[in-house]
Structure 1
Amino acid sequence: MTDRISVAVLFGGVSSEHEISCISAASVLNHIDRDRYDISTIGITKEGNWFLTGSPVANIGDGSWEKDDSNRRAFIAPDRSVGGIMAETGDGRFEILKVDVVLPMLHGRNGEDGTIQGLFQIAGIPFVGSGTAASAASMDKVMTKAIINQSGVVAQAGCCVSYRNVYESDRPAETERIREFFKNTFPLFVKPANAGSSVGITKVKKEEDLPAALELAFCEDDKVLVEEAIKGREIEVAVLGNDSPQASCIGEIFAANEFYDYNAKYENSMSRTAIVRDLPPEKEEEIRSKAVKVYETMGCAGMARVDFFLEESGRVVLNELNTLPGFTSISMYPKLWEESGLPYDKLIDELITLALEKGDR
């Protein structure tokens, strides 16, 4: 293709991961080849307002883009005859900006859960990442559990599910049901079914702390997953591709806190990541193969990061997968591909190529 490709980068969003999305977008914008692509940037505020912005990349990263007086209200039109962005002009009218592909840097709810992907598919605009169904199923930890259990491709932690309406109708009874399910064995992890960046997750060490953990998780979602705690190394694999996905090398998380919560991921400088180099080749291949199988089983496309626990016994246990993983300067997904021989800028090229190959299917 000799013509420059028109790329719309979306960031922000109505999500608890709004700030991380802005940082990811700024990192992408700092690495993308502007000689090859025409870039439009659309920021979505926490209130859900869309703006076409020409704000400097640094302002996108720190969130101050919202104060830019040159911002224009804009949206991606679902009407396929538009084929892109409708942006407000100074006289109250709208102009059309054609878009070849959308690169959504929208983490968490309303960005990674299939909602925005549905808009792209209705609009007929190719986009980076998985489609509506795969995004929704992969974002929902309970749905992921069910699909992977049915497939049998990898072990998972034992779990039960709690629903807000059941919990609120009889808190003591629901707490007791959960305690009995796990035979009063702690610690447990309590997680919102639909939230990223470890928002709303609590490690519960004793029974009396369970209600507070459930309350916190229900602040993020109406459905909560309670899991047994798995003791093992926290490892991650980046997967890339559509019909023939490939796995990167393996990375490991060393959390500064007791587990890899939001603070440990983004705020505590004592957390660190590393490339795994001490595993036998056959174990590395097993982990990478399981990452690809999980990716394929969930119907993913474009990219995803697949997270596991590696127990001392050698058992590999799935933690979760992220269909729009972080792209910040410290994020594992681009780091793993760079270590695997695909630099950040070339990774962006490959993701855009995969999106155009996939089209709007």
Structure 2
Amino acid sequence: MTIKLGLVYGGKSAEHKVSLQTALAVIKALDMSKFAIHPIYITDQGEWIRGNQLEGPVEDVKALQLNGEGTAISPVSLNQELFPAKSQDDDKIDVVFPLLHGPNGEDGTIQGMLELLNIPYVGNGVLASAAGMDKIVMKSLFAQAGLAQANYVSFIKSDWEKAAEASFQKVEDTLGYPCFVKPANLGSSVGISKCNDRDSLIKAFVEAFEYDRKIIIEEAIVGREIEIGVIGNDEPICSVVGEIAPKKEFYDYKAKYEDGDTDLIIPAEVTEEEYEQIREMAIKAFKAIDGSGLVRADFFLTKDGNALINEVNTMPGFTPFSMFPLLWKHTGVEYPALIEQLVQLALDRHEVKQQIKHTF
């Protein structure tokens, strides 16, 4: 039976364009004999627009923006059993695939809405999505789980504004240079700066606080950037590992999504012991945030063979330059099969949830 799949993409986020590219790649990979694909576009102003069922592949992201097409909807209309609509065209979606990156999508907000609507959805739940988005909370959970990671400090904007000099001094005393300044709740390397002195640190604080009220500053680790894919629910499995070899100073937004000017080495050259260490840490991190569906776990691998976890991404990109689908391709899972597996994991998790008692 054909599965009615709602693809939610766009979003009110600085990563809006990234989401469009992810949606385009997923649509091109889906088997339309198995899925009835319904595009649901969230504009950068937060308006929801539902398009007609796709009859064929989409050629570019402009078509996905549904300009002049589609119907403005309330997201609650996605479950017609709870909120019946007048139009029969907006009937119930079987499962939703949130292809959203950043705040207002990857952070648990959409996931919470879908939970309330009792609609199966691909990927992580509310807790894992929120924890995976907030780098400060994430690192606290990793520390509790005993995972090795880089040293870091964090600030909220109001505290920094009251004591800027003390904030800068704390970074210098605790971490030194070089260091990386990042918004706490953003991905795709948006708003990230590498700092080598006080002047660059000041500029980095200002830029990062433009994207979030909380920022995190991490020590620079000398090591290889290693990534691994994780899929599953209660019994997650891992892909081969890959290595990021940016030709620039670090793997920034442009390298990830625009020019492809980065070498992705898959599989990465690691020893069996190093792979096993990374695999075990990735699964431990997945369980620490109560993950489900998928994550991409990012590590630093030092010269002495020790792995430090950097972060997990609960909705990794699916663009042609993205590491996550490439890792699984080299593991033996092609892109269409990967998407189908993620959809099935969503349906399996939803079925388990339906067995939970809600009365006493």
For residues 221 and 135 of structure 2, the distance between their equivalents in structure 1, rounded to whole angstroms, comes to 16
Task: Answer yes or no: is 1:281 the counterpart of 2:281.
Answer: no
Q: Which residue of 2 aligns with 1:189?
A: 180
Tell whether 2:29 aligns with 1:31: yes
Contact preservation (8 Å) 1:235, 1:308:
yes
3-state SS of the aligned residue for 1:189?
strand
Instruction: Give yes or no for the alignment of 1:12 onto 2:10.
Output: yes
Offset from partner CA, 1:34-81 (integer Å, 9 cap, x none): 11111111011101111112477546x433543532221123317966
Distance 1:83 1:238, change over 3 A: farther
For the aligned residue pairs, the C-alpha RMSD in angstroms reads 2.0
1:188-245 Cα deviation digits (max 9, x unpaired): 1001100010101000011222111011110111111011001111010000000110
Corresponding residue for residue 350 of structure 2: 359
Give the equivalent residue in structure 1 for 2:111.
Answer: 117
**In the alignment, what sits opposite 1:128?**
122
Alpha-carbon deviation of 1:172?
2.1
Question: For the structure 1 residues 198 and 116, does the alpha-carbon distance in structure 2 shift closer, same or farther, using more than 3 Å as the test?
Answer: same
Residue of 23, 47, 50 corresponding to 2:48: 50
- Say yes or no: does 1:251 pair with 2:250: no
| Counterpart for residue 170 of structure 1 | 163
Shift of residue 271, structure 1, vs aligned partner = 1.0
**TM-score, normalised by the number of residues in structure 2:** 0.92
Q: Distance in 2 between the 1:356 and 1:253 partners?
A: 33
* Partners of 1:85 and 1:273 in 2: CA distance: 47
Equivalence for 1:138 = 132
Measure the CA separation in 2 of the matches of 1:193 and 1:233.
23
Q: Deviations over 1:126-154 (max 9, x none)?
A: 100011011101111000110110110x2
Closer/same/farther in 2, CA of residues 300 and 52 from structure 1, 3 Å limit? same
Q: Report the AA paired with residue 9 of structure 1.
A: L
Q: 1:33 to 1:58 in 2, by over 3 A?
A: closer
Measure how far apart 1:177 and its partner are.
Answer: 2.6
Deviation at 1:301, TM superposition (A): 0.1
| Counterpart-to-counterpart distance in 2, 1:352 and 1:173 | 49
Normalized against structure 1, the TM-score is what?
Answer: 0.92
Gaps of 5+ in 1: none
What are the superposed Cα offsets for residues 258-296 of structure 1, whole Å, 9 maximum, x if unpaired?
Answer: 001111212233212011342221221211121111111
- After superposing the two structures, state which structure 1 stretch, 73-82 or 264-273, moved more: 73-82
1:180-329 equivalences in 2 (<5 Å): 180-182=173-175, 185-329=176-320
- For structure 2, list consecutive stretches of 5 or more residues without a partner in the other structure: 354-360
User: SS of the residue aligned with 1:359?
Assistant: helix
Amino acid at match of 1:28: V
Q: Percent identity?
A: 39
For residue 113 of structure 1, what is the amino acid of its counterpart? D
Give CA deviations for 1:285-329 in whole Å, capped at 9, x if unaligned: 211121111111111000010000101111101111111100111
Q: Specify the alignment match of 2:61 in structure 1.
A: 62
Q: Is the 8 A contact 2:24 2:58 kept in 1?
A: yes
Q: Write the distance in 1 (CA, Å) between the matches of 2:315 and 2:109.
A: 13
Contact 1:107 1:324 in 2 (8 A): yes
> SS state of the match for residue 35, structure 1?
coil
CA distance in 2, matches of 1:151, 1:257: 33
Query: What SS is found at the alignment partner of 1:227?
Result: strand
Measured in 1, the distance between the counterparts of 2:84 and 2:16 equals: 21
Match of 2:152 in 1: 159
8 A contact 2:145–2:284 mirrored in 1: no
* SS of corresponding position for 2:65: helix
Q: Is the 8 A contact 1:77 1:84 kept in 2?
A: yes
Give the aligned partner of residue 71 of structure 1: 70
Aligned to 2:358: none
In 2, Cα distance between the equivalents of 1:124 and 1:255? 42
Report how many residues are paired. Answer: 350
Distance 1:85 1:12 in 2: 25
State the one-letter code of the partner of 2:28. Answer: N
Counterparts of 1:57 and 1:224 in 2: how far apart (Å)? 40
3-state SS of 1:111 partner:
coil
